[in-house]
Amino acid sequence: MTTLYEAAYAKLNLTLDVLGKREDGYHDLQSVMQTISIRDDIEIDVGTGKPWRLLCSDETLPTDERNLAWKAADVFCRTMNRDPDGLEIRIVKRIPSGAGMGGGSADAAAVLRALNRHYGEPLSVLALAELGAQVGSDVPFCVLGGTAMVEGRGERLRKLPNMPDCIFVVCKPDFSVSTPELYEKIDRVAIPQRPDNRAMETALLAGDLGAVAENLCNVFDPVVTSEHLELNYIKSICHSYGALNQQMTGSGSAVFAILPNFEYAAVVCNMLKDNYPKVFIAKPV
């Protein structure tokens, strides 16, 4: 038996635009994504000689084939025609669920990376990301990591210059948002502002943190905020204590702020933690 170890990093959407509904029922997206240092830890025992098993520190999450980590292992083994002779996947969760931070996708991506390495890396990173598209829309980016432009359903990736050095504060309120319901709403409402992805790329290329912060834009943010005004409270705290900018990530409900240094981030955390126990400080990775 061999035990594999892999970190599963959360993601943030610096920009997120919904371009329209496709014939397959999904939506075309365009998003600049960033992995951050908030992570789950994945361990995989290969060759247990027993039926597959998944254990997770968060008891609210499924531990069978509904879990994306299980699904990723199944897709990899079937596609590569590998029989692991029994698998056990153990997940220590730190990425909050229902946050728009890609927690399940990050776990799936970590499983793909670990199994690919175990079998001698038969797939390149981009080929592995392509395989991840069979598991979930955010999985390809989570396989790649770093800073990237993500398009289509999430399967088209292009590496971008690294995010300038900064600190993120991420706050997950108590509520979560139904992603399918949110996509239905976005089809019915006028979108007041769309991201300027070209300006975001220019800012990243220049390493200009202020310009990166200025160009944060998520079309879902005003839709969710209109129904959950406490997001405005979280954003106002971030803004009042030195954040360069702040917005919701993904389909929510977590809000992140970009801070120039740890001292500012610590103050923002202190101001939020009494009302919001799920507050994190992170760096780009």
Q: With left for phi above 0 and alpha for psi between -120 and 50, is residue 180 left, alpha or beta?
A: alpha
Q: How many CB atoms lie within 10 A of CB 17?
A: 21
Annotated catalytic residue within 17, 138, 172, 235: 138
Taking alpha carbons only, the member of 255, 285, 274, 32 closest to residue 157 is 32
Query: In Å, how far from its chain's centre is CA 107?
Result: 10
Residue 83 falls in the annotated catalytic set: no
142: helix, coil or strand?
A: helix
Residue 138 falls in the annotated catalytic set: yes
Phi, psi dihedral angles at 235 (to 5 degrees): -65, -40
Helix residue spans in 29-154 (DSSP H): 68-79, 103-118, 125-132, 139-144
How many Å apart are CA 194 and CA 14, to the nearest integer? Answer: 12
How many Å apart are CA 160 and CA 150, to the nearest integer? Answer: 10
H/E element holding 220? helix 220-227
Question: Contact 32/203 with Cβ under 8 angstroms?
Answer: no
Phi, psi dihedral angles at 26 (to 5 degrees): -85, 175
CB proximity list for 120: less than 8 A, separation 6 or greater: none
Structure tokens at 261: 């240094």
Structure tokens at 114: 């670990």
Taking alpha carbons only, the member of 13, 20, 19, 104 closest to residue 62 is 104
Q: Which residues are catalytic?
A: 11, 138
